[in-house]
Amino acid sequence: MTAETGQSSNSNSSDDAWAKLVPLDTRFSDVEIKCDDMVICSEIKPSSSERHEWCRITKNLGPGSATIHNKSSDAILVDDAIIPKDGAVDIISGSEIVPGPGGQGYLQYRFTVMPAPESRTQLLKISVDPDNAKCSICLNVWHDVVTAAPCLHNFCNGCFSEWMRRSEAKHQHVLCPQCRTTVQFVGRNHFLQNIQEDILKADTTLRRPAEDIAVLDSSASVQSNLIIGSKRKRRLSTFSPITEERDSVRFQCPQCVANIGGYRCERHGAHLQCHQCRGMMPFRANLQVPLHCMGCDRPFCGAYWSSENVTQGLSTPVCSRETFRPISERTVTRIPSTTHEMNRHEQDITQRCIVQMGKTVQDVAAEWFTLFNNREIDCTRMPLNHAETITASTHVCNDCYDKLVGFLLYWFRLTLPRNHLPEDATAREDCWYGYACRTQHHNEEHARKRNHVCRPTRGNQH
């Protein structure tokens, strides 16, 4: 059985069908109409394999309607009305069409207008029931959503953090407030956070007062994936439990084994897993030693174990202090590889400019960090989280420090007078897409011939 087809006639077409003919006999496929003016060639009887040109469907200017032209050698039926050869009639979504003069023995089709892409998107957005997006502790729509595992129930960060603190003080396990399952893991859920924001945009009456939000934020302590122990001393590196003995030893926290600095972990205490060395450290929310990088929100153990005078052991991975330090204690000797969107030609020009000025990369980074610290730089493009709170005393990881230096070097180059650039650099024209250009990543010639340290003049970047 051959499938129905259509042919366009001097009209615009797109990948998405704006309408279709749906056969009432489910053995046949839908006829998708992708053109504004389309001739339909199809079987007209289930018992025949002959194909005939039997109608033309033209999209009308008004929404949801079209005109059908009879192209067959006989009459056709549209909503039980007889349309003679070369006749035409308007149809709407739901109109029934029979490609022959009588209903008996002919295939029957229903004309269906497809919703516009923006309408389909809107339907998806409004199909979320706010009652399914509420925290079972406070009974409001989530705020800063966290998900507990293995049960996968969702709560406000502040609500669950307060629940966790009370549970750890009174019980040997942290139980899920909704189903009472022992919680082994809790982490922030960015996907559900986007859904929460869409719900509040759609219905502003669900928003909480600013003072309630402030209280929740002050209680929130889950910044990254948090591992919660139990009597069985299970440790998790992901959602799946590590049950083998050698793995539980590999991820043992030093303060679970011995009293260090006057502190020893409770058997059911919560832990963080260092992003760098994958080792474990206790989650101590009220401690002044930073446990998370302010640039990426990932946990790092270097500052914590340094404050406890703990060094690397055979079964206890521990980072050195160098991996997680305040910005003021860091130095840079080279241009980071991520600078200028990893365009090595732009990095070379920046390096030559710095040398020509008799300075070092560290000199330039220090000067521009002072401007950043004084909030004299537009941080719209800054590739770090919490830009408004980062200062010289902020702890950041090595990757985030490199990103910060790259961001400062971008502003250094952007504000350089043209006569301070090398002659071969000034001869280049600006790329239309500036720093956002994707071609510079895979076309060496384009990366070299165009200046990409500039603002885009095309595309969606500003």
Task: Specify the CATH number for the domain of residue 268.
Answer: 3.30.40
Q: Considering only CA atoms, which of 230, 162, 221, 224 is closest in space to residue 187? A: 224
pLDDT digit string, tens, across residues 333-348: 999 999 999 999 999 9
Does residue 96 sit in the same domain as residue 194? no
Q: Pick the last residue of a domain from 174, 194, 222.
A: 222
Q: Residues 189-215: what's their mean pLDDT?
A: 89
What is the pLDDT confidence band of residue 34, given thresholds at 50, 70 and 90?
confident
Q: Within a domain: residue 123?
A: no
What is the pLDDT confidence band of residue 145, given thresholds at 50, 70 and 90?
very high
Dist CA 100 CA 75 (whole Å): 6
CB crowding 337-369: b at 16 or more within 10 Å, else e: eebbbebebbbebbeebbeeeeeebeebbbebb
Does residue 110 sit in the same domain as residue 153? no
What is the pLDDT confidence band of residue 460, given thresholds at 50, 70 and 90?
low
In DSSP terms, 156 is beta-bridged to: 145
pTM confidence score: 0.59
Residue 64's CATH number: 2.60.200.20
What is the pLDDT confidence band of residue 244, given thresholds at 50, 70 and 90?
very low
Does residue 151 sit in the same domain as residue 191? yes
Does residue 396 sit in the same domain as residue 312? no
What is the pLDDT confidence band of residue 5, given thresholds at 50, 70 and 90?
very low
| CB proximity list for 113: less than 8 A, separation 6 or greater | 18, 19, 64, 65, 66, 92, 93
Dump the DSSP string for 206-223.
Answer: GPPPHHHHHHHHHH----
Residue 331's pLDDT is 93
Dist CA 394 CA 390 (whole Å): 6
The answer to whether 154 and 192 have CB atoms below 8 angstroms apart is yes
Rounded to the nearest 10 degrees, how much is the dihedral formed by the CA atoms of 237, 239, 244, 250?
A: 0
The pair phi, psi for residue 201, each rounded to 5°, is: -70, -40
Q: How many CB atoms lie within 10 A of CB 280?
A: 28
Q: Residues 232-254: what's their mean pLDDT?
A: 45
* Average pLDDT of the chain to the nearest whole number: 84
Does residue 163 sit in the same domain as residue 189? yes
What is the pLDDT confidence band of residue 118, given thresholds at 50, 70 and 90?
low
Dist CA 270 CA 167 (whole Å): 11
- pLDDT at 215 > cutoff 80: yes
Does residue 217 sit in the same domain as residue 241? no
- The vertex-303 CA angle with 299 and 298, nearest 5°, equals 15
Q: How many domains does the chain have?
A: 4
The answer to whether 250 and 315 have CB atoms below 8 angstroms apart is yes
- pLDDT at 312 > cutoff 80: no
Q: Which residue has the higher pLDDT, 102 or 453?
A: 453
The answer to whether 71 and 39 have CB atoms below 8 angstroms apart is yes
Q: Pick the last residue of a domain from 196, 222, 248.
A: 222
Judged by average pLDDT, the poorest of 14-23, 51-60, 246-255, 309-318 is 246-255
Q: Within a domain: residue 164?
A: yes
Dist CA 209 CA 232 (whole Å): 42
- pLDDT at 158 > cutoff 80: yes
Q: Which residue has the higher pLDDT, 125 or 430?
A: 430
Q: Pick the last residue of a domain from 168, 190, 222.
A: 222
- Mean pLDDT is highest, among 3-12, 118-127, 263-272, for 263-272
Does residue 440 sit in the same domain as residue 383? yes
Residue 130's pLDDT is 84
Dump the DSSP string for 57-68.
Answer: EEE-SSTTEEEE
Q: How many CB atoms lie within 10 A of CB 377?
A: 19
Q: Within a domain: residue 40?
A: yes
What does the block give as tokens for 437? Answer: 């250009």
Rounded (10°) angle between helices 190-202 and 117-126: 100
Does residue 50 sit in the same domain as residue 29? yes
Q: Look at the block and give the residue holding tokens 């969702």.
A: 154
- pLDDT at 19 > cutoff 80: yes
Q: Residues 406-434: what's their mean pLDDT?
A: 92
Does residue 362 sit in the same domain as residue 447? yes
- The vertex-240 CA angle with 236 and 242, nearest 5°, equals 50
pLDDT digit string, tens, across residues 373-407: 998 988 888 899 888 899 999 999 999 999 999 99
By residue range, what is the domain housing residue 398?
A: 339-451
Q: Within a domain: residue 457?
A: no
3-state secondary structure (DSSP) of residue 273: strand
Does residue 315 sit in the same domain as residue 390? no
Q: Which residue has the higher pLDDT, 128 or 129?
A: 129
Does residue 346 sit in the same domain as residue 306? no
Residue 165's pLDDT is 84
- pLDDT at 241 > cutoff 60: no
CA 223 to chain centre: 17
Residue 139's CATH number: 3.30.40.10
Q: Within a domain: residue 24?
A: yes
- pLDDT at 223 > cutoff 80: yes
Q: Within a domain: residue 326?
A: no
Query: What is the Rg, in whole angstroms, of the alpha carbon atoms belonging to the chain?
Result: 32
Q: Within a domain: residue 332?
A: no
Q: Within a domain: residue 122?
A: no
The answer to whether 407 and 401 have CB atoms below 8 angstroms apart is no
pLDDT digit string, tens, across residues 64-104: 789 999 998 889 999 888 999 999 999 998 899 988 876 56
The answer to whether 36 and 12 have CB atoms below 8 angstroms apart is yes
Q: Residues 196-203: what's their mean pLDDT?
A: 88
- pLDDT at 358 > cutoff 50: yes
Residue 35's pLDDT is 87
Q: Residues 7-33: what's their mean pLDDT?
A: 74
Q: Residues 40-56: what's their mean pLDDT?
A: 75
Does residue 260 sit in the same domain as residue 303? yes
